[in-house]
Amino acid sequence: MTEKTVAPLRETLSCYKNLPRMVRFHNYVRHATCPFERIEPWVPRGGTIYDLGCGHGLFSLYMAISSPRRRITGFDISEEKIRIAREAARDIPNVSFHHADILTQDLDPCDVITILDVLYLMPPGRVKEIVSKCHRMLRPGGMLILSTTDTHPRWKYLLAYCQELLAVKILRITEGRELFFHSRKELGALLQTAGFTVHAERMDRGYVHPHILFACSTRQDATGK
């Protein structure tokens, strides 16, 4: 694999071409509604990366295809999603997937952790546990790249809430029992308390969901970008 400046998300989507139509549709919608291309440049181009709550592995694969110097491991609590992610990653050497609960799984130290749209499935106590665990797991100078849904603007939040209600409670395509959307202020405070230096940036321009990115560094003085 040669390094590319901008990895086309289309190439990542094509990894799913032999998988069932519903899987292709799900990932197509996901790529169209989540600003992966704005998030990916925040991820360092090399090192050991854990993608926690990776789902079908779309972002893990995108990071892997974007830079062969990244060694990515995706973790998800859904066995079925991990099976799909493994099939999609058959020809991509620098990514692997594991079935695990990120709350209980012991993980080795790493350089970068990404968590995209997972924390809304967890109450504040669990989020606190997870971000503290991430801070402990990261090597010095490591980064946590967190993307989530803000609670503002209100109309975007309500839309995201209804969509996730459908996904979690009715269609059951996402594992979880309750929804706990955390505001930018709440999450920022939790991350700082865990010891991170936090840079928050809205990512929702042109998107109907209120995406927000937290680039969190274990350094005390910079965003680490």
Ligand X SMILES: C[S@@+](CC[C@H](N)C(=O)[O-])C[C@H]1O[C@@H](n2cnc3c(N)ncnc32)[C@H](O)[C@@H]1O
What does the binding site for ligand X look like in residue numbers (CB under 6 A)? 30, 34, 53-55, 58-59, 75-78, 81, 101-103, 116-118, 121, 174-176
> Which residue, 137 or 197, is less far from ligand X as judged by CB?
137
Q: Which residue is nearest to ligand X (CB)?
A: 55
> Which residue, 44 or 53, is less far from ligand X as judged by CB?
53
> Which residue, 87 or 175, is less far from ligand X as judged by CB?
175
3-state secondary structure at position 182: coil
> Which residue, 76 or 111, is less far from ligand X as judged by CB?
76
Question: What stretch of H or E contains 70?
Answer: strand 70-76
3-state secondary structure at position 23: helix
Estimate to the nearest angstrom the gap between the alpha carbon of 22 and the chain centroid: 21
How deeply is 60 buried, as exposed, middle or buried, from its count of CB atoms within 10 A (0-12, 13-18, 19+)?
A: buried
Rounded to the nearest whole angstrom, what is the least distance from the CB of residue 54 to ligand X in the complex?
5
> Which residue, 2 or 104, is less far from ligand X as judged by CB?
104
Q: Are 73 and 49 in contact (CB under 8 A)?
A: yes
| Closest CA relative to residue 223, chosen from 169, 124, 142 | 142
Rounded to the nearest whole angstrom, what is the least distance from the CB of residue 7 to ligand X in the complex?
16
Rounded to the nearest whole angstrom, what is the least distance from the CB of residue 118 to ligand X in the complex?
4
Indicate the Cα dihedral angle 92, 98, 101, 102, nearest 10°.
Answer: -50
State which amino acid sits at residue 23.
Answer: V
Rounded to the nearest whole angstrom, what is the least distance from the CB of residue 111 to ligand X in the complex?
19
Rounded to the nearest whole angstrom, what is the least distance from the CB of residue 52 to ligand X in the complex?
6
